[in-house]
């Protein structure tokens, strides 16, 4: 992974400027063109990994596939890009998106299941559940909506950032802020359980909304908060780690099905290795990122176990129960996740 902290901070200062990454493989050379959309900003482990994926596909296909990489939400919000890709008639043939956004866009709540608040206690738990319990049912569900799952990617542990005088150490503190929510029922339900007023905003609208006071806070990972420039509009960052958020690299099924068998094999190759690489690249920067947030003048609030437990008790049971009540067809999948977690915890 060639990303270091300095280009990451540079991307944050630039507010993750939207760009189209130049392609070496020209349309004239290629038989197939894959437009790849993502919210990932340039100068991050995500963009590095995606650019390497682009290079591998172009090289191994002998230039028969040209991959055009669109970073920084340049083709729209996550939900918009997923909808367009799944339809098979738009500008996008592939992408890297948060799982909740994919689930919301395609009305597939199984994609929102991993983002239930306080579901996982560790990244090891999340990795095991995603790889051994959820990959196959998620892939099958996506195919019914015109999408093929390539591999998992990483956003990480989301925490609360706020713009105000007081640090957030409790749900009551958080309720004083109007928080931006990702376009996901699970995220909105979490804020509701915490007694917080939340406003749905796509990625491209968050920074302007913070600057104008439409919202006064958000939750996201240290990496995305820095790379997107959102942390510059905050005064406090509370390490609640309330949601572990995976991402997914996916292909439009109509595009994938239209490839000959040898090219299908190429675009699906190295799935396990890519998942491991994405996770390692993001996690390796964690302590540096927290330090960079502190250095930017934002107060980093480290919760005690009791304080974090108060957030857990305020929302976990209610949001999980509401999810299952809204999606009774996912009882078996939820039970399989819980069973795996219990076995890992020795219960």
pLDDT of residue 268: 98
Cβ neighbours of residue 58 closer than 8 Å, sequence gap 6 or more? 23, 24, 25, 65, 66, 67
Q: Whole-number mean pLDDT of the chain?
A: 91
pLDDT of residue 205: 95
Residue 207 has pLDDT above 80, yes or no: yes
pLDDT band of residue 30 (cuts 50, 70, 90) is: confident
Two tokens, residue 298: 């934002």
Q: What is the mean pLDDT of residues 43-65?
A: 95
Q: Which pTM value belongs to this model?
A: 0.88
Residue the block writes with tokens 């939400």:
73
Closest among 101, 91, 88, 100 to 70, alpha carbons compared:
91
- Exposure string of 52-65, with b = 16+ CB inside 10 Å and e = fewer, is ebbebbbebbeebb
Residue 330 has pLDDT above 90, yes or no: yes
The CATH number of 5-344, from 3.40.50.720, 1.10.357.10, 2.60.120.10, 3.40.190.170, is 3.40.190.170
**Environment class of residue 343 by beta-carbon count within 10 Å: exposed (0-12), middle (13-18) or buried (19+)?**
exposed
pLDDT of residue 28: 55
DSSP run (H or E) holding 248: strand 236-252
Residue the block writes with tokens 């094999």:
265
């Amino acid at each position: 992974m060639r990303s270091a902290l300095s280009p990451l901070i540079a991307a944050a200062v630039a507010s993750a400027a939207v760009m189209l990454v130049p392609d070496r493989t020209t349309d004239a050379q290629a038989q197939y063109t894959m437009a790849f959309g993502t919210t990932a900003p340039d100068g991050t482990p995500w963009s590095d990994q995606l650019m390497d994926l682009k290079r591998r596909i172009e090289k191994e296909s002998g230039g028969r596939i040209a991959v055009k990489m669109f970073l920084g939400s340049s083709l729209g919000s996550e939900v918009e890009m997923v909808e367009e890709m799944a339809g098979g008639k738009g500008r996008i043939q592939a992408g890297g998106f948060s799982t909740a956004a994919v689930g919301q866009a395609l009305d597939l709540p199984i994609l929102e299941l991993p983002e239930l608040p306080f579901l996982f206690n560790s990244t090891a738990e999340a990795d095991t559940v995603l790889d051994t319990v959820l990959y196959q049912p998620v892939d099958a569900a996506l195919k019914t909506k015109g999408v093929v799952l390539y591999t998992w990617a990483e956003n990480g542990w989301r925490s609360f950032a706020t713009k105000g005088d007081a640090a957030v150490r409790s749900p009551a503190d958080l309720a004083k802020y109007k928080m931006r929510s990702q376009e996901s029922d699970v995220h909105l339900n979490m804020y509701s359980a915490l007694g917080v007023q939340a406003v749905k905003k796509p990625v491209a609208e968050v920074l302007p909304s913070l600057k104008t006071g439409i919202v006064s806070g958000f939750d996201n990972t240290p990496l995305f908060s820095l790379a997107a420039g959102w942390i510059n509009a905050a005064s406090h960052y509370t390490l609640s780690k309330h949601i572990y958020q995976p991402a997914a690299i996916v292909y439009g099924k109509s595009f994938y099905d239209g490839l000959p068998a040898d090219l299908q094999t190429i675009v699906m190759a190295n799935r396990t290795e890519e998942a491991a690489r994405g996770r390692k690249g993001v996690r390796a920067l964690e302590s540096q990122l927290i330090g960079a947030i502190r250095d930017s003048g934002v107060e980093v609030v480290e919760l005690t176990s009791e304080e974090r437990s108060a957030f857990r008790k305020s929302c976990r049971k209610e949001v999980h129960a509401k999810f299952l009540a809204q999606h009774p067809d996912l009882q078996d999948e939820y039970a399989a996740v819980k069973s795996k977690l219990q076995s890992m915890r020795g219960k």
